[in-house]
Chains A and B, each alone.
Chain A
Amino acid sequence: MNIHIPTPLRAYTGGAETVSVPGATVTEVFNNLTSQYPDLKQQLFNTEGKLRSFVNVYFNDEDLRYLPEKEATAVAATDELTIIPSIAGGTDAVSPCCSCCPSL
């Protein structure tokens, strides 16, 4: 199946935006991905082997975390995985600007 790699992680896939990796489940695909590109492992997983909290993985258009079987989900060659780090931030200002914005 194809895995789409976000810009910051392409340094670990030889610049490839899309890599094709075999596997019958998401776990197998990830194992094969990190075997093929070992430096990706510490970027994607913490020391306990869990996906880092800011790393989102989408199975086609579904968030892997909300799939019933999660990493055990069966995959077909035509499915796609997308790895997408989160993007967020803010000013750290503490006062509300209006009645719809509660103070932190």
Chain B
Amino acid sequence: MLHIDYANYEALRAHGEETYPHECCGVLLGKSDAEGNHVRQIVRAGNTRTDSAHNRYNIAPIELVKIQRQARGLGLDIVGFYHSHPDHPAQWSPTDFAEAHWFGCSYVITAVEKGKAAITNSFLLTGTSEEDKKFRDQPIEIAVAEQAQQ
């Protein structure tokens, strides 16, 4: 299960709308336990694939180093990543799979149809090596903050 609050969920979807028709990408910071990955904060990242940003994304390693350092300072871990699929289903592609190396992390994909965020799915990268890795569908639990009683 991927646990995320509504504000962060909407923020990562909005990121995909802002960068449309190009792919957006970012990092999910939080904690993992037996119940899944719990997102506490999302961090937007730049897409270095300016040569083909409509169908490719890549986060610069140095940006990841700095985000991991930021997470450490907050007492959090990198628990996943997100990106958008402009005018393409919210399903992982062969490229997504080939480039996935963060076992135990959630890979969140939002389909952005004609500039509007549509379906958002999460996939958990399971396995221990390049040879046995698999993407598994991962349910998303969205926490909605209770409104203050008047």
Contact = CB atoms under 8 A, between A and B. Distances in A.
A90 B57 contact: yes
Contacts of B96: 89-90
Nearest to A54: B101
Interface residues of B, number: 48
Given A17-B77, A97-B54, A104-B55, A58 B61 contact: yes
Interface of B: 21-23, 25, 27, 32, 49-59, 61-62, 64-65, 68-69, 72, 77-79, 81, 83, 85-88, 92-96, 99-105, 107, 128-129
Interface of A: 4, 6-8, 11, 17-18, 42-43, 54-56, 58, 61, 63, 82, 84-94, 96-98, 100-102, 104
- 9 pairs of A and B residues whose beta carbons are closest in the complex: A89-B96, A90-B56, A97-B54, A85-B101, A56-B61, A88-B58, A8-B103, A97-B21, A91-B88
